[in-house]
Amino acid sequence: MTRRLRMGMVGGGKDAFIGAVHRHAAALDGQIDFVAGALSSTPEKARASGLALGLSDDRNYGSWEEMLERELGREDRIDFVSVVTPNHLHYPVARAFAEAGIHVVSDKPLVVSSEQADDLIRVVEASGVVFAVTYNYTGYPMVRQARQMVRSGQLGELRKVTVEYHQGWLAQEQDEETNKQAGWRTDPARSGMGGAIGDIGSHAENLVSTVTGLELEAICADLTAFVPGRRLDDDASVLLRFRGGARGLLTVSQVEIGRENDLRLSVFGTRGSLHWRQEEPNHLLHDTLDGPRQVLTRGSPYLSEEARRATRLPPGHPEAFLEAFANIYLGAAAHIRAKAQGREHVPDYPTPDYPTVEDGARGVHFIERAVESSRGEGKWTDAAWRASR
């Protein structure tokens, strides 16, 4: 019987929304056990969270440095670490574990600068570890169906892509004491140079890239902070030019009152179009030049192998956010197991079918170029990504 993988976690204490999401997603398919953690910014808080979440005393660490040192000395050391800290800590934590030969699953955006991202790529290549970035929306079955349909040419030559991500939770100033998420996400020292463009714009960029395979050539961005005194953008509109001639529009906002987590993608080609919405994730709309609209549904037998593999329940039984997150963990786990067996590829499984460190680095580059374009009063800015090794 295949051994369950052992997961450690840095950040994501007992009251942290995203930490709980990662733990539930990792555990969903019975392949991963959460066994170790350094779960908060101080030793006292970290150990209190670990105690509340059931970690054993000998693997409930006060800091990530202590966790790394002690786990390396164990025969049953963790197989991978999940990094769910505020953005500014992603780089030092992920780099240290990857350099030590421990696989990494990191929240997004990957890091806060392209220099850090390029260095992480070098470390990952040198150590040979698996490195996944949790752009979780790519784990939805109907997103994977859209990817297969676009990449197989069912839409013809791509002309236009629109991606929208609408939220309203930052429509007014937030008290950091009562809303810690708002506190660090609007703080340049912890979030990086991007506000909404980094927090949800990076998801939007990754969704476009994953589904279409298009490569950005140039962008023209308008970033705004509507809430008085806010130091990072809370709204952004970005025109996109892709290599090969396709065009696009990316709009994100966290000040649209009444919007919850409304991520939408439309892809238009010469033969048809696709439309997907995260708040109704089990349907994919397909329009063609000469036929009726089709509503493709998750779990149906006519879907692609990639979409069926990402599905757990029969049609009509909703699958959503946690299951999509879990698919990222499943993809990373499959690759980790293959590495342990001395193989680079997983039989009968697309490898890697999860966002990689290079996807994360491209996302950081996009954030930087969007900020640069906006500071230049909306000038077209070179956005082609070429990793510096």
All CATH 3.30.360.10 domain ranges in the chain, comma separated: 139-318+361-382
Task: Give the pLDDT confidence of 143-183 residue by residue, as tens digits.
Answer: 999 999 999 999 999 999 999 999 999 999 886 667 878 88
Interatomic CA distance for residues 110 and 95, integer angstroms: 11
All CATH 3.40.50.720 domain ranges in the chain, comma separated: 5-137+330-355
Q: So what's the pLDDT on residue 389? A: 44
Residue 382: helix, strand or coil by DSSP? Answer: strand
Q: So what's the pLDDT on residue 377? A: 76
Give the mean model confidence (pLDDT) for residues 84-94: 97
Angle between helices 17-27 and 321-340 (to 10 degrees): 60
Q: So what's the pLDDT on residue 387? A: 56
Is pLDDT at 111 greater than 90 in this prediction?
A: yes
Please tell me the CATH code under which domain 5-137+330-355 is placed: 3.40.50.720
Task: Give the pLDDT confidence of 290-336 residue by residue, as tens digits.
Answer: 999 999 999 999 999 999 999 999 999 999 999 999 999 999 999 99
Q: So what's the pLDDT on residue 347? A: 62
36-75 burial, b at 16+ Cβ within 10 Å, e below that, comes to: bbbbbeeeeebbbbbeebebeeebbbbebeebbeebeeee
Task: Give the pLDDT confidence of 27-72 residue by residue, as tens digits.
Answer: 999 999 999 999 999 999 999 999 999 999 999 999 999 999 999 9
Please tell me the CATH code under which domain 139-318+361-382 is placed: 3.30.360.10
> Residue 303: CB partners within 8 Å, gap ≥ 6?
141, 145, 296, 311
**For all residues of the chain together, what is the average pLDDT?**
95
